[in-house]
Amino acid sequence: MAISLESLHSSFACNVTGVDLARPLADGVFAEIDAAFKRHAVLVFPGQELTDEQQITFSQNFGPLEEAPNYAGKALRLRNEFTDISNLDSEGRLLDPEDRLTKYNLGNQMWHTDSSFKAIRSKCSLLSAREVTQVGGETQYADLRAAYDALPDVRKKELSGLLAEHSIAHSRSKSGFDGFNSEIATMLPPVPQRIVDFYPASGRTSLFLASHASHVIGRPVDEGRALLEELVEFATQERFVYTHRWSVGDLVVWDNRCTMHRGRPYDLTQRRVLHRTTVSDVETPFHKEPAPVPAGQSV
């Protein structure tokens, strides 16, 4: 075993040391990382000061990268393999807290999983800390496999086969951002996603929840929304949550299919700069199936 693992939480999340991600990986090392990823869902690699190029090269081991569309319709600081998790403008200066890009970014403080609103959702995200704040700005992760396991059997039965509709316009309207251009709405129409699924690679069943989930398909909107809210509240109890306090050089990889995450508030006059690459989930294409809408129901 080349890498060393140290547990960060009783059910998921590990610290990984013994590997330099800036260099080409020796034979067999990625297989060890992948096995740890399948088992623990969140991997923290401290002390990895990566360039954007090195981050892309390591990320591609997990699969093809998404390109980040320009959701907020403003000039971007990073090349389009990256999602900019920072409070900087395209010139690298602190954003005005009133800027619409700041408002857009605040949506990341709601519990979510990345790209659940896309027809091809995301397998995992990799977030590299370049500048961090002294206070606040942690990222929290919730273990949706442990949360599923802890549900009462009757609830598990009820959820089996249910689909939720996910859309980015929905989640951003919740955080007070209404600046979507119609091109994004057309490019990213709402998609159905199963609320529960089984993953053969880990042998685990998981909830799949996010701020992007708007309602349950085939149920009255209010009822479905209440169910989703109740599940998010259940799954984000302290016992299912790992809180990551960032140091410069941390790279955190998380499985978007069986965890949720959220950023915690911080003083927006302090620079906080993290660069994210996002890997597409080309392995489990079930979510592409059209949602079966029961006869006589509309949502």
CB of 155 to Mn ion, least distance (A): 26
DSSP 3-state of 65: strand
Nearer to ligand OGA, 127 or 163 (CB): 127
Among positions 113-142, residues that touch Mn ion (CB under 5 A) are 114
| Site pattern 78..117 for Mn ion (x: CB under 5 A) | ------------------------------------x---
CB of 168 to ligand OGA, least distance (A): 13
Q: Tokens at residue 122, please?
A: 């995301």
Question: What would the DSSP string read from start to end of 112-147?
Answer: B-TTTTSSS-EEEEEEEEEE--SSS--EEEEEHHHH
DSSP 3-state of 1: coil
Nearer to ligand OGA, 141 or 240 (CB): 141
Size of the site for Mn ion (CB under 5 A): 1
CB 124 within 8 A of CB 256: yes
Nearer to ligand OGA, 139 or 193 (CB): 139
CB 167 within 8 A of CB 116: no
Nearer to ligand OGA, 114 or 250 (CB): 114
Nearest to 1, CA basis, from 41, 28, 34? 28
The binder of 139, among Mn ion, ligand OGA, none, by C-beta within 5 to 8 A per type, is ligand OGA
Rounded to an integer, what distance in angstroms lies between the CA atom of residue 96 and that of residue 208?
34
The binder of 257, among Mn ion, ligand OGA, none, by C-beta within 5 to 8 A per type, is none
Residue whose CB is nearest to Mn ion in the complex, by number = 114
Rounded to an integer, what distance in angstroms lies between the CA atom of residue 272 and that of residue 246?
10
Nearer to Mn ion, 113 or 133 (CB): 113
The binder of 127, among Mn ion, ligand OGA, none, by C-beta within 5 to 8 A per type, is ligand OGA
Nearer to ligand OGA, 85 or 196 (CB): 85
CB of 141 to ligand OGA, least distance (A): 10
CB 246 within 8 A of CB 139: yes
Nearer to ligand OGA, 191 or 251 (CB): 251
CB of 263 to ligand OGA, least distance (A): 2
> Three-state SS across 227-289?
HHHHHHHHHCCHHHEEEECCCCCCEEEEECCCEEEEECCCCCCCCCEEEEEEEECCCCHHHHC
DSSP 3-state of 89: coil
Rounded to an integer, what distance in angstroms lies between the CA atom of residue 229 and that of residue 250?
31
Q: Binding residues for ligand OGA, per CB under 6 A?
A: 85, 108, 114, 125, 127, 139, 261, 263, 276
CB of 104 to ligand OGA, least distance (A): 12
The binder of 276, among ligand OGA, Mn ion, none, by C-beta within 5 to 8 A per type, is ligand OGA
Residues in touch with Mn ion (CB under 5 A): 114
